[in-house]
Structure 1
Amino acid sequence: MKLASLFSGGKDSMFSLYLMEQMGHDVPYLVNIIPEDAASWIFHTPNLSVVPLMAESMGKELVTATSSGSEEGDMDGLRRALDGLDVEGVISGAIWSDYQWDRMNLVCGDLGLKLFAPLWRKDQDMLMDQFLDSGIEAVVAGCYAEGLGEEWLGRPIDRGSVEDMKRVRERTGISIMGEGGEYESLTIDSPMHRGPLEILSSEREWSRTGGTLRVTSARIGERRA
């Protein structure tokens, strides 16, 4: 099937896209909704400015729409981005959120599109193992939970960091996939990229409730032999 991928640049949207292409689907479009309010009801917001570089590196057409960040605004932005696209369905990186699932289903249903969520309701330890095996590389771009301090910002999501997350989970009950909003991620590379995302400069914003790594400059790097 010909599909569009809801794409934020985080690991879940990238992993979902990767899985659907591995199943043989054609995914020529990345759809990125840009909320004016960082506290968007539905969409991931950190570092959306680097999404065009990711689309370029993967050879995908990027389709964007703005949103107020409210529930209705997010749904309207999604509807405007998808309306008229030559696709049969949409890929989502949703894992647990019934709210997110319901709202996306409403929009897709109105447009006659099928919603695919290959991560939906899967065991999170299993998903993380599959993610680590996929060849996708990502870093932590935001921390908002007890046990994930400023030292986690920019840290690669690899087997060592996942083991540390599991130890934090034993104390606090966090989701190691970040599905409860415990952390946000930024994809650096994948088997679909012609070259990795190189972060040239970034800024850290930190407070008592957590913080974000904001990329201020980046480029597509060369693939190493």
Structure 2
Amino acid sequence: MLKETGYQEKFEMVRPWLVEIIHDVKKDLKNEHLKADREFCKRYFLGKSLQQVTLQELADAYYTDVKEGNVGLGEFISSRWLLKHTDVYYYFEETLNKITPDFDEMDLLPDDVSQTLVDGALKKFGPRLTYLFSVLNSVVFSDAIYEELRMKAEKETEKVRQEEAKKQTNETLESLQSRYARELTAMKDRYEKKFAGMEKKYNKNTETLKKQVRTLHKKLDGSDESS
């Protein structure tokens, strides 16, 4: 359950997906935090402009700072991320209101209520988004529910990574095939032009040789007549 869980613990729970979380709130962080907090930038990104800092570097920096006690940053990142996923929030709120209107006062949701909520969320948003929202919004699921969600989120994430890797491999193969096709076409054009030039030169030389042979024959014929 997460009702009393601090941001240090929350960031530990979502660390495998922190790059994705930072990606979603990157603009907010740059405009409202990084441009103002020079000490933070100096500590983590010394010698780099904000344009040079990668998402992984941002995620590592924020994870470390929150882990060391900067709960204000943890709250800022969490609240901004939640604001960008209001569809998930409204689903949770509406579903819980239908089941138990006093859910805000609960320290732990009953298993049957939790399962109904989770099953619907998984169908609408998938495991990863459901898990991240639940952690960052401190939904009072049991530890068993959180463990189940985490495992499903990890499987979904791994599946997505495998699909992306396969897609990149296919794109690489297609790119290589396209490049080789272009090179082959260019090579064919070069040799066709070269062959055309050689053929033209050959025809010209042949014609010149024929003229020389005809001239020689005329000279020989003239020599025979004079004798």
TM-score band by shorter chain is under 0.3
Q: Whose RCO is larger (CA < 8 A, sep 6+)?
A: 2
Q: Give the TM-score normalised by the residue count of structure 1.
A: 0.23
Structure with greater helix share of residues: 2
**Bigger radius of gyration among the two:** 2
Q: Give the TM-score normalised by the residue count of structure 2.
A: 0.23
Structure with greater strand share of residues: 1
